[in-house]
Amino acid sequence: MKNIEISPSLLSADFMNLEKDIKMLNESSASMLHLDIMDGVFVSNITFGIPIIKQIRKKTDKILDTHLMIVQPEKYIKEFKNAGANILTVHYEASTHLNRTIQEIKELGMKAGVALNPHTNVNLLENILPYVDLILIMSVNPGFGGQSFIENSLIKIKKLKQLIDEINPNVKIEVDGGVNLENYTKIINAGADILVAGNAVFSSKNPIEIIKSLKEI
């Protein structure tokens, strides 16, 4: 059986009671916490940054899975490392010198990911796959939680899985946006290894149970 990892997105957490939500996630079977960093430029929303990540780091030993939806992410790699990020994922569309950006992330001892917007073709990854740890497929247009899963993402995940098998089988596929109990099986069967879930987890009365269910196929 495939080991699926769940990365609940704090974007849908209760920011007035963040510590309580983190404690709940610490007790759950989620292996990571997904942190959505938005700058109001790359996407039309602004979330939180380095000081908040530092505080989150003090409250959990889980992997901090940091998804940068910001322009020029290369400017802040060290800051995110110092704040406690374990995985740093930058958007393909936001980094002009992606190869260098990925190298810098890895040199600092973090895992490096590349995220793709829904319209970006997975074939563009051919020359970066040898160097990355994960590819994050955005299955909604980035910017907000609680949106509907874009069905075309399943085709992208399948194509990406083929490319990964050919070029670098160590690369994990993370899927982010609109993941829920109705569609997670299809997403896993298409090739996903890590599922991000915001709304599905935090709108539930029993988030721990939802996280457990999303791991079961």
* Count of residues touching Zn ion (by CB under 5 A): 3
- Report yes or no: 7 and 30 within 8 Å, Cβ to Cβ: yes
Site for ligand DX5 in 12-31 (CB under 6 A): 12
Going from the C-alpha of 180 to that of each of 8, 49, 73, 97, the distances in angstroms are 11, 27, 29, 34
Which stretch in 15-23, 94-102, 139-147, 167-175 sits in contact with ligand DX5 by CB under 6 A? Answer: 139-147
- Report yes or no: 24 and 208 within 8 Å, Cβ to Cβ: yes
- How many Å apart are CA 22 and CA 190, to the nearest integer? 30
Residue 67 near Zn ion by CB under 5 A:
yes
Indicate which of Zn ion, ligand DX5, none lies near residue 207 (CB less than 5 to 8 Å, by partner kind).
none
Residue 66 near ligand DX5 by CB under 6 A:
no
Going from the C-alpha of 75 to that of each of 43, 80, 87, 94, 104, the distances in angstroms are 17, 10, 16, 12, 11
Per-residue binding string, ligand DX5, 69-108, x by CB under 6 A, is ----------------------------------------
Closest separation between CB of residue 166 and Zn ion, Å?
27
Cβ closer to Zn ion: 104 or 174? 174
Closest separation between CB of residue 171 and ligand DX5, Å?
19
Catalytic residue list: 36, 176
Q: Which of 105, 110, 21, 18 is nearest to 64 (CA)?
A: 110
Indicate which of ligand DX5, Zn ion, none lies near residue 191 (CB less than 5 to 8 Å, by partner kind).
none
Cβ closer to Zn ion: 36 or 193? 36
Residue 65 near Zn ion by CB under 5 A:
no
Going from the C-alpha of 111 to that of each of 7, 106, 171, 182, the distances in angstroms are 15, 6, 11, 30
- Report yes or no: 146 and 13 within 8 Å, Cβ to Cβ: no
- How many Å apart are CA 180 and CA 198, to the nearest integer? 9
Site for Zn ion in 157-176 (CB under 5 A): 176
Binding residues for ligand DX5 (CB under 6 A)? 9, 11-12, 34, 36, 67, 140, 142-143, 145-147, 176-179, 196-200
